Amino acid sequence: MTKAELVEDVARAAELTKKDAERLVEIVFESIIETLNHGEKIELRGFGSFRVRERGARRGRNPKTGDPVDIPAKRVPYFKPGKELKELINEDDGAEASAPSDLPASEAGAGGGGEPGSADGGGQNPPLM
């Protein structure tokens, strides 16, 4: 979804003009950016949280020449989805994605997948619930 599509959805849902909806979306984005710039976190219950993480300076390399390059420390935005958002995203996939229809449920999601002693270590890890 693009910003323009988001504006259209907001305008339609809130029965606003596109100009008013665009301004509303801009205000929300500006508020998020300003809050993160002040080092504060944003927590939207049921959706997720925005935070700023500090990345330390490190030594990298130029992929073209292979020469070492100093990469300075910086702050980066980070989004962590909330539990409800994760559940809503995975709701549609449900049982179809977790277990193929030709395998019994006990075998489909067992987590091991291979023969005991095989390279993937099958059968050693218990199923995750």
Q: Into how many domains does the chain fold?
A: 2
Q: Can you give the pLDDT at residue 94? A: 52
- 47 with 79: CB under 8 angstroms? no
User: Does residue 3 form part of some domain?
Assistant: yes
**Same domain assignment for residues 13 and 35:** yes
**Same domain assignment for residues 34 and 1:** yes
**Same domain assignment for residues 2 and 36:** yes
Q: What Cα–Cα distance (Å) separates residue 122 from each residue in 2, 21, 99, 104?
A: 43, 53, 17, 17
Q: Can you give the pLDDT at residue 91? A: 85
**Same domain assignment for residues 6 and 34:** yes
Give me the residues of the chain with pLDDT under 50, please: 97-101, 103-129
- pTM of this prediction? 0.60
Distance CA 125, CA 112 (A): 6
Residue with tokens 């710039």: 37
Listed in sequence order, the residues at least 6 apart from 121 whose beta carbon sits closer than 8 Å to its beta carbon are 112, 114
For 58, the domain range is 53-84
Q: Can you give the pLDDT at residue 45? A: 93
Q: Can you give the pLDDT at residue 92? A: 67
Task: Please give the helix or strand (H or E) that residue 79 lies within, else none.
Answer: strand 74-81
- 53 with 75: CB under 8 angstroms? yes
User: Does residue 15 form part of some domain?
Assistant: yes
Q: Can you give the pLDDT at residue 93? A: 59
Q: Where are the beta strands (DSSP E) in 1-129?
A: 42-44, 48-55, 58-61, 68-71, 74-81
